[in-house]
Amino acid sequence: MAPGTEAPSEMHFYFPKYRALCMAENATHTLHNLLTLRGAVVRDPHVWSQYLTEAIERYGDDAEVVFTSHHWPTWGNAEIREFLGLQRDLYGYLHDQTLRMLNQGMQGAEIAEAIQLPPALENAWHARGYYGSVSHNVKAIYQRYMGWFDGNPARLWPHAPKEQAKRYVDAIGGIDRVLELARAAFDSGDFRWAATLLDHAVFTEENNAEAKALYADTLEQLGYGAENGTWRNFFLSGATELREGNFGTPTVTNAPAIRAQLTPEQLFDAVAITVDGPRAWDLDLGFDITLSDLDRSFHVTLRNGVLVYVEREPATDAALHLTLTKERLIRLAGGDLDAEGLDVRGDLGVLKQLLGVLTPGDPAFEIVLP
């Protein structure tokens, strides 16, 4: 068992008959993500490294092939021991050196610029940052231990990005001066600085055609120069948005087979994070739900903008008691009040008030514009 590594319940397993060791996604032919750029809980590189050590100690003398969930196998016992050892050292080094520099007073971005991998890791193709990167993994480790605040009080309460951008642009001398400096940075190849300046420019004047065009060119150059695939995707997605407009989220995760595996608790949690808090401040609702196909009942309340659910038998005097299947509950959470499959006792207006303050997520928000 290797929990808390690439996945919360990750595991490695060995097939003695074939002398084959599966390392799940913990020893791939790339540096993996410790924090996915799409957003997630920061993974633990310390235990990741330890579980690789355990795999080497348990199976390193016997394995003749090691394979993972996404990448090609490595054959030969000596090659396997070298591969797993370097992968182990990769995550261990990033963890330990980040904490060493953290304890010297450096913050995440500073550590990401200063850290150097040892030659054996730097020159191993399977340790390169094609998917995870040293830069954002180091900042993830810092985040895991220190959170978002780096201890500098000037960064404790900054303005929000749009208000900050207006002040930066004004301090620099106006939008024309910002664009002049950004063009100079672009022409000199300092695309990182150009992107920073242009970020402030479009957050001040989001419809400024010159700023958007130069920003798109800048992000495109950053994308072309990125070894890391996920960085490249973000840079080029930003350039596309600036040139062609918001293209939204290309896929929708709504597979019936996956939805069928969700527990009632997960469904209620999913609804809870769509409650528009301020609109629900003054509501005080309570009702019962019985899931007939699971033989389970819940009491649901909405108070102070917080949805709370407790598993218990329905009350005889409940303002509203709904009886339905779990699949019908999924449709109901989406606003489907059709009577089919819905047994209602009491005031359906209670449910309508709840549904009236639900705000689904936006799958097409801007990524480079305010």
45, 138 Cβ separation under 8 angstroms: no
Domains of the chain: 13-146 (3.60.15.30), 161-244 (1.25.40.880), 256-355 (3.30.1050.10)
Q: How confident is the model at residue 295 (pLDDT cuts 50, 70, 90)?
A: very high
Report, as an integer, the average pLDDT of 293-305.
Answer: 96
Distance of CA 244 to the CA centre of its chain: 25
73, 83 Cβ separation under 8 angstroms: no
pLDDT at res. 260: 82
326, 267 Cβ separation under 8 angstroms: yes
Q: How confident is the model at residue 66 (pLDDT cuts 50, 70, 90)?
A: very high
Residues contacting residue 312 through CB under 8 Å, at least 6 positions apart: 297, 298, 299
Q: How confident is the model at residue 339 (pLDDT cuts 50, 70, 90)?
A: confident
What's the rounded Cα separation, in Å, for the pair 21 and 64? Answer: 8
Q: Which residue is listed with tokens 């620099």? A: 172
What's the rounded Cα separation, in Å, for the pair 198 and 3? Answer: 42
Q: How confident is the model at residue 257 (pLDDT cuts 50, 70, 90)?
A: confident
For 103-133, the pLDDT digits (tens) are: 999 999 999 999 999 999 999 999 999 999 9
- Is residue 11 scored above 80 in pLDDT? yes
Share of the chain above pLDDT 70, in %: 99
Residues contacting residue 347 through CB under 8 Å, at least 6 positions apart: 319, 320
pLDDT at res. 338: 86
Q: Which of 254, 251, 249, 255 is nearest to 237 (CA)?
A: 249
What's the rounded Cα separation, in Å, for the pair 301 and 362? Answer: 25
pLDDT at res. 270: 92
Report, as an integer, the average pLDDT of 262-276.
Answer: 94
Q: How confident is the model at residue 253 (pLDDT cuts 50, 70, 90)?
A: low
